[in-house]
Structure 1
C-alpha cells in the first residue's frame, strides 16, 4: 500500500496559477482486467479509486504518517511560460516554420 503525493499538472485549458493543491493517491495493487461481456475495464483494487486533496505538501505528508501509509513524493517541474505577443506570429525572423 504505497501512496504517491504530487501536485497535478495543469490541463491544456488552464492558464492561471490558482491550482496549488497537492494530491495523495494510491498506486495500483491489483491488475486491471477487461470484462468479457461489455468490454469494461475493471479492477478489484478499491484504493486506486481514492484520491485525497490537500492544501500543502506538509499536510499530505502528515496525513500519510498519521495513518501509517508509506508514501513517495513526486516533485513536478515548474513551468516557465515564454512571453509571446500576437504580433510575434508574423515576425520576419521567426525561429519556427510557419505551418499555414
Structure 2
C-alpha cells in the first residue's frame, strides 16, 4: 500500500493558515467505498485510509516511512501567490471592468 506525504493547503472557509505548516502521511485508498443498500451508509473494507499521521517536517515523515518499510510518494507544496493590490484600486476611474452592484 502506498502512502502520500504532503503539506495540507489552507482551508477555503477560513482566512488563517493554521495547520498548513505540518506534513501529513496518509494512505491512498486501495478499495473503493461502497454504499450499504439498506441504510445508505458509505463503508469500506480498507482500514488504513483512516490513519493520518502529522509530522513537523517533511524529513521526519520520510524517515518514518522508510523506517517502517512503507512505500511513499512526496507531493510538493505549491507556493501561495497573493497579488499586491490596494483596496482603492477597486474605485479607480480607469478600471478595465466597469463598477457594478
Q: TM-score, normalised by structure 2?
A: 0.87
User: Deviation string for 1:4-47 (max 9, x for gaps)?
Assistant: 00011101213447731000000001121001112111101011
Judged with a 3 Å threshold, the aligned counterparts in structure 2 of structure 1 residues 17 and 38 are, in CA distance, closer, same or farther, namely closer
Question: 1:5-20 residue pairs with structure 2 within 5 A?
Answer: 5-12=5-12, 13-16=14-17, 19-20=20-21
Aligned equivalent of 1:58: 59
After the TM superposition, which of the residue ranges 38-47 and 15-24 deviates more from structure 2?
Answer: 15-24
Offset of 1:80 from its aligned partner?
1.4
Question: 1:19-58 residue pairs with structure 2 within 5 A?
Answer: 19-58=20-59
Q: Structure 1 residue runs of 4+, over 6 Å off?
A: none
Offset of 1:84 from its aligned partner?
2.4
RMSD: 1.8
After the TM superposition, which of the residue ranges 63-72 and 6-15 deviates more from structure 2?
Answer: 6-15
Judged with a 3 Å threshold, the aligned counterparts in structure 2 of structure 1 residues 96 and 22 are, in CA distance, closer, same or farther, namely farther
Aligned equivalent of 1:71: 72
Secondary structure class of the residue paired with 1:3: strand
Aligned length: 100
Q: TM-score, normalised by structure 1?
A: 0.88
